[in-house]
Structure 1
């Protein structure tokens, strides 16, 4: 078994599940400790960060991060999965003006309460919703607050559109499109989906599985890996002495000169310790531990 630690960004192609991609990466890197950072449906493509070795400790943080998608939608069609790959259950021939279409799309900017689709991996009473849906049943789902940071209309005509969406974690784009159709008094379903960003990772950082196989043949796999601390690259950095390092790892606060805020924390050797935050405590600036990511050896 090899010993890689880092994050590889996959450009997932159609026809693969996220678990399929993990299994292929596991074979390419010859490692067991591999995990993805949020599923992409089999027909969806795009950015899928996969964590290897010690970097699996930050997978939850990537999962919690904002995402960006490019999606295509078509009006007048309702399916059981809210996308074109599901069973068509209703149709509408209602005509809407381009102005109404654009207005409905743009009206979803900001926060809104989204009811997750039945065909999803969310669990209710220990059972995944899609398992219940496949039995022909439907159960009540609680709305979840999501944040649509921006919507950019890339192309639009009388019954279809292509949009770019920046959103909070847990947002279902096919449900967003379904809800846009409802707002117009008709139906709408998603016809394609590409994830273009996941946290700090972009399409230009991503490799197809075939590209990774070729890179392995040239023995350059280390060059495609991002260190775990790259996830927090937007934060400023603090380097700690040996004494303060021990305090940080034990969860004890330490007086520092840094201004209040969140920080990436390292020791003097450059090893990543975790995330901390500085706040004012009794007129002193003190560093406290938010999350310890340090793994020795």
Structure 2
């Protein structure tokens, strides 16, 4: 069983918990996921099975989409509603002020990783230090907020919902806390649902309980998506039978002997490579210096 099983992660499960369940049900030792979700979060978690685990390092730049609920007026040590309350503020904000503040966070911004995160500092995870009551300085990291909209805000309750499209490595709870700070108060994330990741949406996702049921009836493999679904944003290239043999054996292909020759592809372009029978072989990368298509990653 090689491919991608898109799971709708339930709350109170870690991403590792979900991978462990799928590993046992699918009977595949090699399993992994494409991006951690906090235990309180739900939603799209693509689980890689078998040869698809080779794709993990190639998915670092993929954007993700979230629907986040937040509350203003208090702060916690985890920046979400599961943590210990550290401070409260009587300052209240209006919907107009909130909407105006969002412009500060669109585009390329810097985020300070929260103490309760898996980022390493001097060889230790930040959450390990946080659990010991230790707070350390953290270097801010660049992230990109491609879309940030408030779809609902209750001025009386000081609660609302954000829709976010962002780069990998963005902390949505930190975004909520930073928005609160920009408004002269505090902010925490109260719920989080990932609606899209690696090109997959909730429509592709299977609830974890349904995964168990499918495994019991022998139907799980039917819900596993082909590996090339991870790279549909890349152009496809069908090669000849001889080229397919050469490619899968580790050899470069001359650009002039492929359909790419007519397209004048840019250096560094990544393409999906298929055999004449439409078998996905792997990813190639254009090297204009040598006029070749080199192997980026094989999946056969």
State if a TM-score over 0.5 links the two structures. yes
Larger mean CA deviation between 208-217 and 235-244 belongs to 235-244
Query: Shift of the alpha carbon at 1:232?
Result: 0.9
Match of 2:213 in 1: 214
Structure 1: which 5+ runs fail to align?
Answer: none
Match of 2:199 in 1: 200
1:264-275 paired onto structure 2 within 5 Å:
264-275=272-283
**Are 2:9 and 2:207, in contact at CA under 8 Å, matched by a contact in 1?**
yes
What whole-Å deviation, never above 9, does each CA across 1:60-97 have from its counterpart, x for those lacking one?
33354110000011111110110010000001011222
What whole-Å deviation, never above 9, does each CA across 1:184-242 have from its counterpart, x for those lacking one?
11110000000000021100111111111222233211210111111111222112224
Root-mean-square deviation over aligned CA pairs: 1.8
- Structure 2 residue aligned with 1:89, among 69, 86, 89? 86
Structure 2: which 5+ runs fail to align?
Answer: none
Instruction: Give the SS at the match of 1:204.
Output: helix
- Work out the CA distance in 2 between the residues paired with 1:50 and 1:294: 16
Match of 1:113 in 2: 110
- Work out the CA distance in 2 between the residues paired with 1:279 and 1:60: 20
- Structure 2 residue aligned with 1:71, among 44, 68, 71? 68
Query: Shift of the alpha carbon at 1:247?
Result: 4.7
- Structure 1 residue aligned with 2:298, among 284, 293, 296? 293
User: Does residue 62 in structure 1 map to residue 59 in structure 2?
Assistant: yes
Instruction: Give the SS at the match of 2:180.
Output: helix
1:173-252 paired onto structure 2 within 5 Å:
173-249=172-248, 250=250, 252=252
- Structure 2 residue aligned with 1:15, among 9, 12, 16? 12
- Work out the CA distance in 2 between the residues paired with 1:52 and 1:231: 12
Structure 1 pair 70/142, CA: closer, same or farther in 2 (3 Å)? same
**Are 2:237 and 2:259, in contact at CA under 8 Å, matched by a contact in 1?**
no
- Structure 1 residue aligned with 2:151, among 150, 154, 160? 154
- Work out the CA distance in 2 between the residues paired with 1:240 and 1:84: 53
Query: Shift of the alpha carbon at 1:34?
Result: 1.3
* Number of residue equivalences: 289
**Are 1:276 and 1:287, in contact at CA under 8 Å, matched by a contact in 2?**
no
Query: Shift of the alpha carbon at 1:290?
Result: 5.2
- Work out the CA distance in 1 between the residues paired with 2:2 and 2:247: 23
Query: Shift of the alpha carbon at 1:292?
Result: 1.8
- Work out the CA distance in 1 between the residues paired with 2:193 and 2:151: 14
- Work out the CA distance in 2 between the residues paired with 1:151 and 1:60: 27
Instruction: Give the SS at the match of 1:107.
Output: helix
**Are 2:285 and 2:296, in contact at CA under 8 Å, matched by a contact in 1?**
no
Instruction: Give the SS at the match of 1:176.
Output: helix
Larger mean CA deviation between 250-259 and 22-31 belongs to 250-259
Query: Shift of the alpha carbon at 1:277?
Result: 3.6
Instruction: Give the SS at the match of 2:185.
Output: coil
**Are 2:66 and 2:195, in contact at CA under 8 Å, matched by a contact in 1?**
yes
- Work out the CA distance in 2 between the residues paired with 1:169 and 1:202: 16
